[in-house]
Structure 1
Amino acid sequence: MESKLIEKSIAGDVKSFEQLIQSYNRYVYNIAYRMMGNEEDAKDMSQEALIKAYKAMPGFKMESQFSTWLYRIVINTCKDELRKRKEHILSLDEEIAERITLEQTLESNSGDPLMIYEKKEMKNALDDALNKLSDEGRSVVVLKDLLGYTYEEIGEILQIPIGTVRSRLNRSRSTLRMLLKVQLAE
């Protein structure tokens, strides 16, 4: 089914492309959200990446998985935007962070205020630390630790050797540990 949609999309069929990306929308948004650090930018980058993907469909050679090709476009779109801004990613908007924390609290049915506070503090510290990583470091951490991709898949998505994936991930995790220790000690 997917291969037929890909073939029709390559031929320029908009409806086939819309059907094709429907199952990837959530993953595209999650990658953009982790790369950009906030909801509004994630929506914009997701939309921009999907437009770029549609325009690039005639060049898709089916030599890799469609998902790998698409996720590479999302990551590169986010990196390009960050380079344009020449600034670090903004941390999560406080209102969004509180809404997410409230939703998680309601889902967990945990009424322990101390546990709720600790979870919120840890989430905020992790978001801040993640936003301080380089684009390359954040990419591998998001793909491996948050989205669960293998080293091989990450190498394919980012177009880098597996050894580079491993070293970037190791370096980024060390940096995250150090940043979290400092933030949580404050």
Structure 2
Amino acid sequence: MIQARQGDQAALTELYRLYEHKAYNVALRMLGNPWDAADVTQEAFIKAFGALDQFRGEARFSTWLHRIVVNAVRDHLRKRQMDPMEDEELDRVASMNSPAAGGRLVGGRDTALDPVTDGLSEPLLAALQALDERFRLAVVLCDLLGFDYAEAANILEVREGTIKSRIFRARAELASRLRGAGYEPSTRPPRTEEERLGTAADATTSYEQPPE
């Protein structure tokens, strides 16, 4: 960390390598498309690296960094609300360049090869995106990315009880939406991110898409 604060390129590159994937996951699952997620992740790292002298070690570095990522996501969501047409155009381009259509490079990522970009089916992704921002953040951090309640609370700067309450309400809403989309509970332990989202909807079971 000392070397990174001094601007050592190798140290900064190592920090980026260690934390970029999880930071990108936060942005992707909050924003819903890889283009926005890549931009926001890059912005967050630029801001974090420019503010390393402000990191005092009072929290884990990952907590401090993901707080910056979350704030960048929130800023982007506010901008999206102000200019919805831009977001609609991004969605159109994203559908044209989806993995099924061959994919392309996005922010240095090959969407045809990156399982993060197509890890959820459309109904599951739609259920997640439909959640209130506060509830979606709690589910993304804890149920999809594996942060414990205490660290998620530190990232979001709320009480741990607030995180638990948000996750409880988010799971109930997800369960309702998933059942409405025709998903049925499975007793098989969750193995994929899609199944973990089902687990978020029901704390003891996962959901699998019904046969067509």
**TM-score category by the smaller chain?**
0.7 to 0.9
Amino acid at match of 1:53: A
Task: Report how far residue 14 of structure 1 moved.
Answer: 4.1
**Whole-angstrom distance in 1 between the partners of 2:78 and 2:58:** 29
Task: Report how far residue 103 of structure 1 moved.
Answer: 7.1
Residue correspondences, number: 163
RMSD value over aligned CA atoms? 2.7
Amino acid at match of 2:29: R
CA deviation map 1:76-124 (0-9, x unaligned): 1011110122178877944536479x979xxxxxxxxxxxxxxx9x721
TM-score (norm 2): 0.68
CA deviation map 1:134-163 (0-9, x unaligned): 211111101111111111111111111110
Amino acid at match of 1:127: L
**Whole-angstrom distance in 2 between the partners of 1:96 and 1:76:** 27
**Whole-angstrom distance in 2 between the partners of 1:61 and 1:154:** 19
Q: Is 1:76 the equivalent of 2:78?
A: no
Identity %: 37
Q: Is 1:178 the equivalent of 2:176?
A: yes
Q: Is 1:32 the equivalent of 2:34?
A: no
**Unpaired segments ≥5 residues, structure 2:** 104-111, 184-212
Which ranges of 4 or more aligned residues in structure 1 deviate by more than 6 Å?
Answer: 87-92
The answer as to whether partners of 1:10 and 1:60 remain within 8 angstroms in 2 is no
Task: Report how far residue 25 of structure 1 moved.
Answer: 1.3
Amino acid at match of 1:125: P
TM-score (norm 1): 0.77
**Whole-angstrom distance in 1 between the partners of 2:177 and 2:100:** 22
Matched residue, 1:161 = 159
Structure richer in helix, relative to its length: 1
Aligned pairs for 1:1-186 (under 5 A) are 6-86=1-81, 93-94=94-95, 96=98, 98=100, 123-184=121-182
Amino acid at match of 1:96: S
The answer as to whether partners of 1:137 and 1:172 remain within 8 angstroms in 2 is yes
Distance 1:97 1:124, change over 3 A: farther
**Whole-angstrom distance in 2 between the partners of 1:8 and 1:182:** 52
